[in-house]
Chains A and B, each alone.
Chain A
Amino acid sequence: MELTRLPFLKSALKSRYSQLAVFIVMLVGYIFVILAGLIGTPVGSHNFSIVFVWIAWWAILILVAVPFFGRGWCAVCPIPLPGEWLQRGAVLNPPDKKPRWLNLRWPKFLRNIWLQNISFLLLALFSSVLLTTPNITGIVLAAMLFAAIGLSMIFERRAFCRYLCPVGGFIGLYSQTAPIELRIKDKQVCVVCDGKPCYNGASTVGLDVQRLNPPLSANSNTGYGCPWDVFPGGLTKNTYCGLCMECIRTCPHDNIAINLRPFSADLAKPSTRLDEAFKAFIMLGSAMIYAGVLLGPWGAFKDAAYNVGTSAWFIYATIFLAIIFAILPGFFWLMISLTSRPFAKHPFGAPIGRGVGVRKFASLTTALIPLGLMFWVAFSLSFVLTNATYILASLSDPLGLGWNLFGTANAVWQPMLTSILAPAQTLALVGGLIWSARTAQKAANEVKVSSVPVVIYCFITTLVMLGLLL
């Protein structure tokens, strides 16, 4: 179902003002959160930045935005706004003909999500401190904003969002499951489209605007080339489309649509990329480790995770990385190599060996995408419901100055909905298992192997996760 047919939505997306207005509000909020982290109370549970980012925002992101809107968060995230203004030299106007800054292409060997995998892991390894220390949260948020600005001045487009953002990596991975997509309406229109302004920008590459067929409308005349470095005409998956809506405004043929679609539609086309495969392991593993460390009863783990720099922490970090890079993928590889021969002959006698193994391995990890998402949902349900009442208190006194803006400053901490927590988590995990089993079948069909080992793998990890959570 094409949502962009809705006149209200369509005009809102076509207008530059509506999204800019949202961006400005979000940017103000983002800056406020940074300041609250830096000048507010150092007591994490009462600091606005901690409560708002790691409880409220996280809950919205993982429980609503990602499962239902895919990269919906990226559509409103204010981080690229300042950098993009500098890069284009304009907020609404078409960009300068000559780029203002270096405008380099992103290095080819980094055109993958390995940097995002690393940036996520860096935050993940320090998460116990990051999630509880307002100063650190403030500094990390500010660093992300400045990194985005800096990269905008060196590289073209939204290099930070596309290649570095620690959040963007997993949102992209999981956005494949979302029932929302941005796609072209008619491929043929794109094939014959002059100059591809959706990718190149209407004015940046010296398109002769008048000679285009059809000529650009006023709206598309101001359009920028895809900030996410994606050619919309070739979109088959959500992973790297940031839902910035730029192409909707730029396309002179009105050939771009936002569609409502079945859940996990993109997973029918398994990715064969190893960076994405490992993203799936990173997310799966960190959800399990967090469930054990943050929610589990083991004080020693909590201490180790919190005391960054101590030998206990180094052991924790080593175990963390070992689980993510060795144990989970190794076990997965073992399982699938039990029933299939990853180094078997290619049917057409083409070069055999690594390529075949990686392709199968990566394709089959597609099953871990819904599984990982539901692990995160189950894990997040627990700490979000436990800590949601902190939101009330910190809303009324965001800077910890003794205010009581909404009369809720003294709201007492109280876990919410404790009675439905365990059933909801179980439901999420079991649902995730079924979902991943179905995904595994499709992925296994693509690479012509049995899905059984993958399903068993998912079953075992789900059991472990259940044990950790309940």
Chain B
Amino acid sequence: MKRSELLSRIFITVAVLGAVGAPLFVWARTPLIHAKVAEDGGWNPDVIQANAGEPLFLKLTSDDVVHGFAVGQMDMQSVDVLPGKVSNVTLTFDKPGIYTFFCTRWCGLNHWRMRGTIEVSGSPSDHEPALSEAAEPLYVTLGLDIDAPHDALVIPRSQPSAISGQQLAANLPIDLSTDYYRAYSPYQVFDELPNTSLTESQSWDVVAYIWQSNTTNESLSDGQQLYAQNCAACHGENGAGNGVFADDLAASGESSMQTMAGADQMTMQTPVDFTDPTRMLGASPALLQGKILRGGMGTGMPMWGSIFTEEQIWDLIAYLYSFQFDYHRGEAQ
């Protein structure tokens, strides 16, 4: 064989092998986390390993629409994951435990199913308990059945005003403590108010005042932000249970639910209307905490326990009551 022929053959072979090998090599060395709408599989991989105290570098890409990435129980800005683009995220976990990452963009009907876990290993330091050893939630301590009906038997005729309530409460022996506020529903507090000369409407104003004194403007605004990002898609910007997905959820009904294995038993319910006083005024903060922590168990309401911190949940609950109580009416202009 002539040298030129041999060299040409070698050259073509090397070029072809290189053209196949080089892309495969760099591709295999760049692990990407792919995001797809939950119907198509959600996150892949959806379990990520990490070590406490060591930075974790993630490359995220979307295979379909715009998604977002955030890790629950962590103070982090959510990162947009764009179709065909790569977003870089660096995370450092202080405590070992199982963290949940989730989609932060309303990508589709089953948006809230887009979750995965980061398993952070390492020994917990003495003063900081591992994530899974978090304290028992209040609804468990109180022994509440969070699925039992909890309707308020009396509801106010107009929206109670906390400002008016503050003036009325001045001479009343009322309990403003956090423990009291969290354990009772507004209706229970209304019902147990000391027998006074207050009208029904005035009593509700006092309840509104008790609720207001257990929150701050900062909590309310944090709660509002959490609500807008995570709840409004179904429950609606104004809490009326008519978010952009509400109709779609209702329309898709069971077919949406059955995308999960074993979902035959599930029944679709419409998102709760937080502006409905019968329902909201009959619910204690502890009960709402339970519902948010655990989720709706087959109703389409996700569980948020692995995502929100305890403080975030209390902030969110404080905000939910603002659909019932007026914290500003009567304020000095």
CB-CB under 8 A from A410, the residues of chain B are: 85
* A41 interface neighbour in B2, B19, B26, B61, Cβ under 8 Å: B61
Judge if A101 is at the interface, Cβ distance under 8 Å: no
* A31 interface neighbour in B16, B27, B30, B61, Cβ under 8 Å: B16
Q: Let me know if B2 and A399 touch, CB within 8 A.
A: no
A-facing residues in B197-255 (Cβ within 8 Å): none
Q: Give bound CA distance, A41 to B5, whole Å.
A: 39
Judge if A32 is at the interface, Cβ distance under 8 Å: yes
Contact mask A274-317 → B, CB, 8 Å, 1/0? Answer: 00000000000000000000000000000000000000000000
Smallest beta-carbon distance A153→chain B, Å = 18
Interface residues of B (CB under 8 A from A): 1-2, 4-5, 8-9, 11-12, 15-16, 18-20, 23-24, 26-27, 30, 32, 59, 61-64, 83-88
Q: Give bound CA distance, A409 to B87, whole Å.
A: 12
B-facing residues in A391-412 (Cβ within 8 Å): 397, 399-402, 409-410
Q: Let me know if A36 and B23 touch, CB within 8 A.
A: yes
CB-CB under 8 A from A20, the residues of chain B are: 8
Q: Let me know if B11 and A43 touch, CB within 8 A.
A: no
CB-CB under 8 A from A400, the residues of chain B are: 32, 61, 84, 86
Smallest beta-carbon distance B248→chain A, Å = 19
Q: Let me know if A43 and B2 touch, CB within 8 A.
A: no
CB-CB under 8 A from A409, the residues of chain B are: 85
Nearest residue in A to B32 (C-beta to C-beta)? A401
Q: Given contacts A35-B20, A39-B23, A46-B85, are A402 and B59 in contact (CB under 8 A)?
A: yes
Interface residues of A (CB under 8 A from B): 20, 24, 27-29, 31-32, 35-36, 39, 41-43, 45-47, 81-82, 85, 90-93, 397, 399-402, 409-410
Q: Let me know if B8 and A92 touch, CB within 8 A.
A: yes
Q: Let me know if B26 and A42 touch, CB within 8 A.
A: no
Nearest residue in B to A400 (C-beta to C-beta)? B84
Q: Give bound CA distance, A176 to B19, whole Å.
A: 35
CB-CB under 8 A from A399, the residues of chain B are: 23, 26-27
Q: Given contacts A27-B19, A31-B20, A92-B5, are A46 and B12 in contact (CB under 8 A)?
A: no
Q: Let me know if A45 and B84 touch, CB within 8 A.
A: yes
Q: Let me know if A41 and B27 touch, CB within 8 A.
A: no
CB-CB under 8 A from B1, the residues of chain A are: 93
Nearest residue in B to A46 (C-beta to C-beta)? B84
Q: Given contacts A28-B16, A92-B2, are A42 and B24 in contact (CB under 8 A)?
A: no
Q: Let me know if B18 and A28 touch, CB within 8 A.
A: yes
Nearest residue in B to A91 (C-beta to C-beta)? B8
Nearest residue in B to A20 (C-beta to C-beta)? B8
CB-CB under 8 A from A36, the residues of chain B are: 23
The 28 listed contacts between A and B (C-beta, < 8 Å) are A24-B11, A27-B16, A27-B19, A28-B18, A35-B23, A39-B23, A39-B27, A41-B63, A41-B83, A41-B84, A43-B83, A45-B83, A46-B83, A46-B84, A47-B84, A82-B16, A85-B12, A91-B5, A91-B8, A91-B9, A93-B2, A397-B86, A400-B84, A400-B86, A401-B86, A402-B59, A402-B87, A402-B88
Q: Give bound CA distance, A402 to B19, whole Å.
A: 20
With contacts A28-B16, A45-B84, A91-B5 known, what are 19 further pairs, Cβ within 8 A?
A: A24-B11, A27-B16, A28-B15, A28-B18, A31-B19, A35-B23, A45-B83, A46-B83, A46-B85, A92-B4, A92-B8, A93-B5, A401-B26, A401-B86, A402-B30, A402-B32, A402-B87, A402-B88, A410-B85
Q: Give the interface centre of B1, B12, B30 by most chain A CB atoms within 10 Å.
A: B12
CB-CB under 8 A from A24, the residues of chain B are: 11-12, 15
CB-CB under 8 A from B85, the residues of chain A are: 46, 402, 409-410
* B63 interface neighbour in A29, A43, A82, A402, Cβ under 8 Å: A43
Q: Give bound CA distance, A399 to B84, whole Å.
A: 10
Closest CB pairs A-B (n = 3): A46-B84, A402-B86, A43-B84
Q: Give bound CA distance, A39 to B63, whole Å.
A: 12
Smallest beta-carbon distance B187→chain A, Å = 51
Q: Give the interface centre of A20, A93, A410 by most chain B CB atoms within 10 Å.
A: A93
Smallest beta-carbon distance B60→chain A, Å = 9
Smallest beta-carbon distance A92→chain B, Å = 5
Q: Give bound CA distance, A93 to B2, whole Å.
A: 8
Q: Give the interface centre of A36, A401, A409 by most chain B CB atoms within 10 Å.
A: A401
Nearest residue in A to B85 (C-beta to C-beta)? A46
Q: Let me know if A401 and B2 touch, CB within 8 A.
A: no
* B23 interface neighbour in A27, A32, A45, A93, Cβ under 8 Å: A32
CB-CB under 8 A from B9, the residues of chain A are: 85, 91
Q: Give bound CA distance, A46 to B61, whole Å.
A: 11
Smallest beta-carbon distance A393→chain B, Å = 8
CB-CB under 8 A from B32, the residues of chain A are: 400-402
Nearest residue in A to B36 (C-beta to C-beta)? A42
CB-CB under 8 A from B4, the residues of chain A are: 92
Nearest residue in B to A28 (C-beta to C-beta)? B19
Smallest beta-carbon distance A236→chain B, Å = 35
CB-CB under 8 A from A28, the residues of chain B are: 15-16, 18-19
Q: Given contacts A28-B18, A90-B5, are A43 and B27 in contact (CB under 8 A)?
A: no
Q: Give bound CA distance, A82 to B59, whole Å.
A: 37
CB-CB under 8 A from B24, the residues of chain A are: 35, 39
Q: Give the interface centre of A32, A43, A81, A82 by most chain B CB atoms within 10 Å.
A: A43
CB-CB under 8 A from A45, the residues of chain B are: 83-84
Q: Give bound CA distance, A29 to B88, whole Å.
A: 28
Smallest beta-carbon distance B2→chain A, Å = 6
Q: Let me know if A401 and B27 touch, CB within 8 A.
A: yes
CB-CB under 8 A from A41, the residues of chain B are: 61, 63, 83-84
Q: Give bound CA distance, A410 to B1, whole Å.
A: 50
CB-CB under 8 A from B15, the residues of chain A are: 24, 27-28
Q: Give bound CA distance, A399 to B24, whole Å.
A: 10
Q: Give bound CA distance, A35 to B18, whole Å.
A: 12
Q: Give bound CA distance, A197 to B285, whole Å.
A: 94
Q: Given contacts A35-B24, A402-B88, are A91 and B83 in contact (CB under 8 A)?
A: no
Smallest beta-carbon distance B302→chain A, Å = 27
Q: Given contacts A91-B5, A91-B12, are A43 and B64 in contact (CB under 8 A)?
A: yes
Smallest beta-carbon distance B314→chain A, Å = 39
CB-CB under 8 A from B2, the residues of chain A are: 92-93
Nearest residue in B to A39 (C-beta to C-beta)? B27
CB-CB under 8 A from A32, the residues of chain B are: 19, 23
Smallest beta-carbon distance B85→chain A, Å = 7
CB-CB under 8 A from B88, the residues of chain A are: 402
